Structure 1
Amino acid sequence: MTKTDTSLQTQNPISSAQNAVENVHRAVSSALSHPTSQTLDQAQNAINKAEKAVDQATMHSDAQPAQEVAQALSDEEARLQDLQ
């Protein structure tokens, strides 16, 4: 029996960036509610990963969704900076 892909959504640069920014949102929210060195590090690591995903998305498209996800990441970075 062969293994089949069970994903319902095809990943593309925009959806990957959106998912990465959602992860950043969760990590930043966690750092804001429980500010420890671990949660701050996790938030920064999530931001670093999301920056790469957003770069890929904007490299492939200048469309509004790419700009929106880049703005969302910027907003999350600002939330984390407010804590630091």
Structure 2
Amino acid sequence: LGENARRDIVLNLEDMGIEVESSHHETAPAQHEVDFKYGEVRTIADRIMSFKMTVRTIAKRHGLHATFMPKPRAEVNGSG
């Protein structure tokens, strides 16, 4: 389920001109990572906002909830 959503996220980001370097499942359950190329600071700031909106929208389409919290659950590994 999450893998299909992540695939859709990557395809949508690429359609938006955001070049994705990699995407993969992380250590914690339901934790995914999408990395995109470095660039000029203002461009990347805009891309981060577009990325978050894209992730939330596509997650919802798949019946999922996306959060960017560093550690949403105490009993599992966090991000960062």
Question: The TM-score by the shorter chain falls in which range?
Answer: 0.3 to 0.5
Structure 1 or 2: more strand by fraction:
2
Given the two structures, how large is their TM-score scaled by the length of structure 2? 0.39
Decide which structure has the larger Cα Rg and report it. 1
Given the two structures, how large is their TM-score scaled by the length of structure 1? 0.38
